[in-house]
């Protein structure tokens, strides 16, 4: 059996990288892997390498591990590339949350859509473009597994840059199945499901019990009407009540992707009143800030157990296992829409069932989504496409237009406010946006219209002029009767 060469880009992500590496080493077919950890952050990458060495040594595995701050060195002749970067780190994330809040855009997570998602996308897509260019030169046949958000925008970009050898991975389906299982009292292993849509907004189109074929949706919906169930996921359940299907992402996430739940204080109090990812303002940023503060200058991995745990729900190790063993595995993946969902745009990123085996990735055709589901997805797909256009072109106007088309920002702000917010975000984040170097977002000063000002006369089509005269005559007659 060969020793797969695996490049982990952004391996300074101590919690997430630890999970993926532990999964890989717990997989028999991957235990001889050559793990290459890459990060620009030297102390963290050294801590991660020491931890992985302990795992390998304690469990007597044939795997090897090394670390580097040179991306090209990590990529050379790699079989698999796992991307988990966060360009700009906590500092950029702070701008993503705090600047929009000044303009009334209240984000709970701020990494997938909204102003925060737009700017994270601008940072990450530029990075992904450079990563793909390096891969084409150094490991052209490698499979790229992307974990970086905003998943929809990043994978739309990858669809343009490297479609057939890339996939985006999320755990929304797996974790949502845990919730559904508990609500219907059926182990998740016994639930057949069909899920399709876009990342963080994929729809559970079917829920049936294996063996009996019993439709589990009626019981699930009935329980969701009960207060003790409803309170856990107010936003997701409200969307299901009005659109018919349950979605794959939490209340905190979903509340940002639609215009109805975070646009004012009353909406926030009614639907986003649970702590942390239940809708609290800045929940993800505050969590990230607390983690950074807690472990700053501390090697928290030094005290972590070096026993291999059971594999997590993350798909990464299962995909690599299927590629290495040629034993098929089915997952939910984010891929370019090449006819898999009929009523979402070609080229958009869609989240659908995907089979993987030794020959590669095999996305499965879904057909048409329910019209209302596709419409809600389209509101986000439009923004994602504009993010990609802005990131690849470095055009500030496209960045502003992406935020203007965002459902939440559009519900809260005027176009002038969005323009000023975008300009402020661009200036604050210039260190991580080299594609915008030397380009600014032009201001659009307000045009004054003094009281009593008469507009210029505009020629009317004769038919319209006749209709206007009849309208004026009718109004004057009504006034006379009054």
**In the structure, what pLDDT confidence band is assigned to residue 269 with cuts at 50, 70 and 90?**
very high
**In the structure, what pLDDT confidence band is assigned to residue 162 with cuts at 50, 70 and 90?**
confident
Rounded CA-CA distance 403/417 in Å is: 11
Which of 217, 257, 271, 285 is the catalytic position? 257
**In the structure, what pLDDT confidence band is assigned to residue 465 with cuts at 50, 70 and 90?**
low
- Whether 362 is catalytic: no
Rounded CA-CA distance 8/239 in Å is: 37
Indicate the DSSP class of residue 157: H
- Say if residue 150 is preceded by a cis peptide, omega within 30 of 0: yes
1 vs 324, more confident: 324
43 vs 223, more confident: 223
**In the structure, what pLDDT confidence band is assigned to residue 167 with cuts at 50, 70 and 90?**
very high
The pLDDT of residue 29 is 95
Query: pLDDT averaged over the chain?
Result: 93
Angle at Cα 330 formed by Cα 138 and Cα 314, nearest 5°? 65
Directed axis angle between helix 396-404 and helix 371-393, to 10°? 160
Rounded CA-CA distance 222/217 in Å is: 8
Which of 171, 193, 230, 300 is the catalytic position? 171
In three-state secondary structure terms, 62 is coil
Rounded CA-CA distance 51/25 in Å is: 12
Rounded CA-CA distance 148/146 in Å is: 6
The pLDDT of residue 474 is 60
The pLDDT of residue 145 is 97
pLDDT at 35 over 90: yes
The model carries a pTM of 0.92
Rounded CA-CA distance 482/478 in Å is: 6
**In the structure, what pLDDT confidence band is assigned to residue 472 with cuts at 50, 70 and 90?**
low
pLDDT at 132 over 90: yes
Which of 144, 198, 139, 142 is closest to 166 using CA atoms?
Answer: 144
- Whether 257 is catalytic: yes
**In the structure, what pLDDT confidence band is assigned to residue 405 with cuts at 50, 70 and 90?**
very high
In three-state secondary structure terms, 117 is helix
The pLDDT of residue 441 is 94
Q: Which residues contact 436 (CB under 8 A, 6 or more apart)?
A: 122, 394, 396, 399, 426, 430
Rounded CA-CA distance 372/369 in Å is: 8
In percent, how much of the chain has pLDDT > 90?
85
pLDDT digits (tens, 9 = 90+) for 193-248: 999 999 999 999 999 999 999 999 999 999 999 999 999 999 999 999 999 999 99
Phi, then psi, of 191 in degrees rounded to 5: -110, 115
The pLDDT of residue 44 is 86
Domains defined for the chain, CATH in brackets: 90-110+171-281+314-436 (3.90.1820.10)
Phi, then psi, of 466 in degrees rounded to 5: -65, -45
pLDDT at 384 over 70: yes
pLDDT digits (tens, 9 = 90+) for 432-441: 999 999 999 9
In three-state secondary structure terms, 383 is helix
Dihedral sign (CA 288, 291, 295, 299) = negative
399 contacts 164 by C-beta, under 8 angstroms? no
Burial of 454 (0-12, 13-18, 19+ CB in 10 A): exposed
Bridge partners of residue 6, in order along the sequence: 35, 80
Question: What is the SS3 string spanning 241-307?
Answer: HHHCCEECCCHHHHCCCCCCCCCCHHHHHHHCCECHHHECCCHHHHHHHHHHHHHCCCCHHHHCCCC
pLDDT at 24 over 90: yes
**In the structure, what pLDDT confidence band is assigned to residue 476 with cuts at 50, 70 and 90?**
low
28 contacts 90 by C-beta, under 8 angstroms? no
465 vs 281, more confident: 281
User: Quick one: average pLDDT of 162-184?
Assistant: 92
Indicate the DSSP class of residue 300: G
**In the structure, what pLDDT confidence band is assigned to residue 291 with cuts at 50, 70 and 90?**
confident
């Amino acid at each position: 059996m060969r020793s797969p060469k695996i490049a982990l880009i952004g391996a300074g992500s101590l919690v997430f990288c630890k999970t993926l590496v532990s999964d890989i080493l717990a997989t028999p077919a991957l235990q001889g892997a050559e793990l290459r950890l890459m990060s620009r952050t030297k102390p963290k990458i050294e801590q991660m390498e020491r931890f992985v060495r302990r795992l390998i040594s304690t469990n007597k595995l044939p795997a090897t591990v090394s670390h580097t701050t040179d991306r090209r060195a990590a990529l050379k002749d790699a079989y698999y590339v796992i991307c988990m970067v966060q360009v700009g780190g906590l500092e950029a994330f702070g701008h993503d949350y705090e600047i929009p809040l000044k303009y009334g855009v209240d984000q709970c997570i701020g990494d997938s859509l909204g102003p925060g998602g737009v700017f994270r996308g601008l940072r990450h897509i530029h990075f992904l473009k450079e990563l793909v260019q390096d891969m084409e030169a150094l490991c052209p046949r490698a499979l790229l597994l992307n974990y970086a958000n905003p998943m929809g925008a990043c994978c739309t970009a990858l669809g343009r840059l490297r479609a057939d050898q890339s996939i985006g991975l999320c755990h929304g389906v797996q974790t949502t199945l845990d919730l559904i299982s508990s609500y219907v009292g059926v182990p998740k292993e016994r639930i057949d499901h069909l899920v399709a849509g876009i990342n963080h907004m994929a729809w559970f189109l079917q829920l049936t019990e294996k063996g009996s074929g019993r439709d589990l949706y009626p019981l699930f919906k009935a329980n969701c009407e009960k207060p003790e169930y409803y309170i856990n996921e107010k936003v997701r359940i409200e969307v299901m009540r009005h659109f018919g299907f349950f979605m794959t992402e939490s209340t905190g996430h979903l509340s940002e992707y639609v215009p109805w739940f975070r646009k004012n204080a009353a909406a926030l109090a009614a639907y986003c009143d649970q702590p942390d990812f239940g809708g609290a303002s800045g929940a993800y940023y505050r969590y990230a800030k607390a983690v950074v503060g807690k472990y700053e200058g501390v090697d928290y991995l030094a005290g972590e157990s070096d026993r291999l745990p059971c594999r997590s729900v993350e798909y990464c190790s299962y995909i690599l296992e299927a590629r290495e063993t040629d034993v098929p595995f089915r997952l939910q993946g984010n891929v370019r829409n090449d006819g898999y969902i009929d009523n979402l745009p070609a080229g958009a990123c869609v989240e659908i069932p995907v089979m993987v085996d030794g020959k590669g990735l095999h996305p499965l055709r879904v057909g048409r989504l329910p019209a209302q589901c596709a419409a809600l997805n389209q509101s986000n797909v439009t923004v994602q496409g504009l993010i990609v256009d802005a990131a690849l072109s470095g055009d500030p106007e496209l960045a502003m237009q992406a935020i203007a088309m965002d459902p939440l920002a559009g519900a809260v702000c005027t176009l002038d406010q969005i323009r000023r917010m975008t300009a402020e975000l661009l200036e604050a984040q210039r260190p991580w946006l080299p594609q915008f170097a030397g380009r600014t977002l032009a201001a659009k000063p307000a045009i004054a219209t003094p009281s009593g000002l008469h507009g210029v006369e505009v020629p009317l089509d004769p038919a319209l002029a006749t209709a206007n005269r009849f309208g004026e005559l009718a109004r004057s007659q009504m006034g006379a009767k009054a």
